[in-house]
Structure 1
Amino acid sequence: MADVSALDGAGVPLGGNAWGVFGQDGAVEALRRAIASGNLAHAYLVTGPDGVGKGTLAHRLAQTLISPSAEDPTVPDLTTRVARQIEADEMPDIERIALGGVCDESNHDHAADNSTRIRICQVRRLERVASLAPFASPRRIFIVDTADQLQTEAAHALLKTLEEPPGQVLILLLATDPDALLPTIRSRCQEIPLRPAPYSDLLAVLEDDPEVADPVTVARLAHGRYGLAMRMKQDPTFAVLRESATTEARRLARASRNERFDFAERFGGAWYRERESVLQTIDLWREWWRDVLVAAADAAADLSPEAKAEATRCTPADALRALRAVQTAREHLLANTHAQLALEVMMLDLPVLTGDVPAGRGERETVTAG
């Protein structure tokens, strides 16, 4: 699963809620109320940035429905074999549909063909399995991870299932960019937005974790997302890559026109060799400018000191312009626009800021060196 739950070494939930989804108390309590009242929707759309807890929330909901605590049916019993199977995506009545996942076509290998979209054949498998009675539990649960990456044909096929869902089926869509979904899909789901936790809250938890060597840096780079913080804890190189990408975003905002175009040429060439790495960098730029925008619009926002400092050097309009430029470049790249051209347009649209940028702890040479 993509996100990491907030449990201590004894399996006790952290973060103020009974499911251990850090920073998402409101979402957890809303779902617990729906379970208690018997008013659970047939489909939910869980939205929010990568690492914020979407996958953890979906798994906790599934665990609660299939392996509830004897004392409180709105809380999962995580000690059972079934709960552990769900955590590991090994429970037969719970199926995860994601990029590179399985379908019913014997000659398809989506993991090997580097699929960048969820294919219609994968959704057709969902339709087929959804029509079957549950194997070992009261219902079937489908977790559509990265639902915003559905092929157009796959999205329309999924819509048919959402319009006429079997009674024993629950569908959970997880999306970073809900605007990429068909409006008709969104209208048939109950939306649960997850938002990053305040910087100070995440920092406090990381400071209490003896395995986090540099909690201040991890909290800053995680942008309020516990799942990302845990990835950096487990793989320190991930933190270095994130810091390097943030440093690049800040440097580009201070670079000359020629420097920007030189970067666009190298980065555009990297797109054809290291597509996923380039997308990851662009997504990190998007996160950075989103934080700067919030800090520029609200001086009291609980964000990292670096984002607040950058916000003093630009207006909210500047930060919004940068965010839109990065997002547009991402969309153009995925639409197979010429990579260098898409990036040059982004460079022209970025604002020009002043002030020095501190040197990052690592550079993404494989991406930026061309």
Structure 2
Amino acid sequence: MSERLESDMLADSPHPRETMRLIGQDRAEQALLAAYRSGRIHHAWLLGGPEGIGKATLAYRMAKFVLTHPDPHRLDGATSLSVAADAAPARQIVSQSHVDLAVLRRLPNDKTKGFYSNIRVDDVRNVVRFLGSTAGAGGWRIAIIDSAEDLAREGANALLKVLEEPPPRVLFLMISHQPARLLPTIRSRCRLLTLDPLGEADVLLAAAQARPDLSEETLAAGAALAQGSVRRALTLADGEGVSLHRSLTDLLAKLPRIDVAAAHALADRCANKAGDENFALLLDFLDEWLHQRLLAARGEPVPRLARWAQVWEKARHAARDVEAYNLDRKPFVLATLGLLAEASTA
């Protein structure tokens, strides 16, 4: 497992390049295998879908396969993108030493002790130069971008020329959580391969593979709330997510009555710097609850449906203000619960 936290990995979990088994994405894997076997694989692939469903694992899996089998016409009857863990390209990719693989991602910022907010344009230009040079081993040059959303406009534009006129035997594997939000000029030059959210059983299996130190009960509770995302399941299982969801659910079940003591206790768990992760989770839980409430209200009178829509919009707007201006979170939590109670009585 990686010793240092990286921008494209979850703490205490293996990095996608270290994950040898891809769970629940057979359709996407077979699509890449078939394209490569044809000998006419498109040079740029956009691997799309929600966070935490295996896109990066698939990208590294494809890179290992191509660099292990550089001739697409000599695949020895391969039925998946699996390669032996001790194959030289696989070992080199895991150790970040393969000369024909470049990875674009947000790098550590020594000044802030965090990560740069975007993939730096200088890093993009370095990769463009790398792709134009002669391959060092198997004849392919591969670039993994994780994620495309982290490319600022200047960085995306720096990629365009090589996307438009790629050198021979160059392969882009771009990971995107929201492909529709990318620049049209980037999207139009890539082949979109959408990965689906995982079923709960696959989420649990993948989560257990990543974190065998966590109990099955804890992982199962996280998987049940994960909405098909292994990353979300692990975040919930490893922190206060499951108990936070239970506390919020208990409060919402009593609406329009508000348990004042429980509401303050919930808000306190999201306050200050220590509550950063809890606050982000709470926003997700509230957003999902309101989404489900709106779906349930579709058969109700229009004014009542409109009230729930207004509450959803007000909560989202207030949450953006809290995060943008670093406002106190406790009043936001209490005010939002008040809005929900008011909408429930109408």
Q: TM-score, normalised by structure 2?
A: 0.68
Alignment partner, residue 286 of structure 1:
284
Kindly indicate whether residue 55 of structure 2 is the aligned counterpart of residue 57 of structure 1: no
Cα offset for 1:262? 8.4
Contact 1:282 1:330 survives alignment (8 Å):
no
Kindly indicate whether residue 99 of structure 2 is the aligned counterpart of residue 92 of structure 1: yes
Encode CA deviations 1:139-189: one digit per residue, 9 max, x unaligned: 111111122122222122222332222222211111223343212211211
**Change over 3 Å in CA distance of 1:207–1:52 after alignment to 2:** closer
Encode CA deviations 1:192-249: one digit per residue, 9 max, x unaligned: 22222222454578799897431531321443334555x57xxxx8533332453576
Counterpart of 1:42, as a letter, is H
SS at match of 2:139: coil
Kindly indicate whether residue 44 of structure 2 is the aligned counterpart of residue 43 of structure 1: yes
SS at match of 2:52: coil
Cα distance in 2 for partners of 1:268, 1:203 equals 27
Match of 1:76 among 79, 82, 88: 82
Counterpart of 2:83, as a letter, is D
Contact 1:92 1:136 survives alignment (8 Å):
yes
Cα distance in 2 for partners of 1:316, 1:64 equals 51
Q: TM-score, normalised by structure 1?
A: 0.64
Contact 1:2 1:51 survives alignment (8 Å):
no
> Mind listing any 5+ residue stretches in structure 1 that lack a counterpart?
6-10, 14-18, 102-107, 299-314, 355-370
Contact 1:289 1:320 survives alignment (8 Å):
no
Kindly indicate whether residue 125 of structure 2 is the aligned counterpart of residue 124 of structure 1: yes
Counterpart of 1:142, as a letter, is A
Cα offset for 1:54? 1.0
Alignment partner, residue 4 of structure 2:
none
Cα offset for 1:351? 4.7
Aligned residues: 309
Contact 1:78 1:84 survives alignment (8 Å):
no
Cα distance in 2 for partners of 1:161, 1:207 equals 39
Cα distance in 1 for partners of 2:222, 2:180 equals 29
Counterpart of 1:148, as a letter, is E
Q: Describe how 1:11-30 pairs up with structure 2 within 5 A.
A: 20-30=21-31
SS at match of 1:197: coil
Contact 1:196 1:224 survives alignment (8 Å):
yes
Counterpart of 1:76, as a letter, is S
Give % identity: 26
**Change over 3 Å in CA distance of 1:92–1:323 after alignment to 2:** farther
Contact 1:45 1:173 survives alignment (8 Å):
yes
Match of 1:224 among 212, 222, 228: 228
SS at match of 1:184: helix
Cα distance in 2 for partners of 1:191, 1:348 equals 40
Contact 1:286 1:327 survives alignment (8 Å):
no
**Change over 3 Å in CA distance of 1:195–1:297 after alignment to 2:** farther
Cα distance in 2 for partners of 1:319, 1:78 equals 53
SS at match of 2:33: helix
Cα offset for 1:32? 1.3
Cα offset for 1:77? 2.1
Cα distance in 1 for partners of 2:120, 2:103 equals 14
**Change over 3 Å in CA distance of 1:187–1:201 after alignment to 2:** same
Cα distance in 1 for partners of 2:114, 2:268 equals 26
Contact 1:98 1:144 survives alignment (8 Å):
yes
**Change over 3 Å in CA distance of 1:173–1:196 after alignment to 2:** same
Counterpart of 1:138, as a letter, is G
Cα offset for 1:28? 1.0
Counterpart of 1:240, as a letter, is G
Alignment partner, residue 138 of structure 2:
137
Kindly indicate whether residue 241 of structure 2 is the aligned counterpart of residue 242 of structure 1: yes
**Change over 3 Å in CA distance of 1:327–1:161 after alignment to 2:** farther
Cα offset for 1:52? 0.8
Cα offset for 1:85? 1.9
Contact 2:208 2:214 survives alignment (8 Å):
no
